[in-house]
Amino acid sequence: MSKERAARRVARETEQQAARATRARQVARRAKRREIKRRLTPTLPKRGRVGKIFPRRSASERFVIGVVFFGLLAFIWYEFDDLGTRIALTAILVLVLPAFVVIAFGRKSG
């Protein structure tokens, strides 16, 4: 009786070992295929900063920001005669513009 059980156990272990080997070959083949596909598939460039001043803004938003900035700049240089006042107001405009953009065109997270 125990010899029969031992023989069945050996047969069962042999089958399991063969199944594990088959499974390992399949997994290795899939991994190799996946790696080849990954290497052959062209990758898209990562989205993000690609040389734009305001990368998170649409073209129309960037246009509005530029028009407002240059409009205020023209107003400052047209309206004030003193060079020191012009330069000071231009510097303030340059410093305040990022805050204006965040407040006016802020994105909600999520």
pLDDT, tens digit (0-9, with 9 covering 90-100), for 28-79: 999 999 999 888 888 776 665 556 555 667 778 888 888 999 999 999 999 9
> Which phi and psi angles does 73 have, rounded to 5°?
-65, -45
Tokens of 64: 């509005």
pLDDT of residue 85: 93
Res. 110 pLDDT band, cuts 50 70 90: very low
| Sign (positive or negative) of CA dihedral 53, 58, 59, 65 | negative
Tokens of 106: 């802020």
Give the C-alpha separation, 109 to 82, whole Å. Answer: 44
Lowest mean pLDDT among 12-21, 55-64, 78-87, 101-110: 101-110
Closest CA to 68 of 102, 103, 100: 100
Residue range 5-18: mean pLDDT, rounded:
91
Q: Tell me the whole-structure pTM to 2 decimals.
A: 0.46
Res. 106 pLDDT band, cuts 50 70 90: confident
Tokens of 6: 């031992």
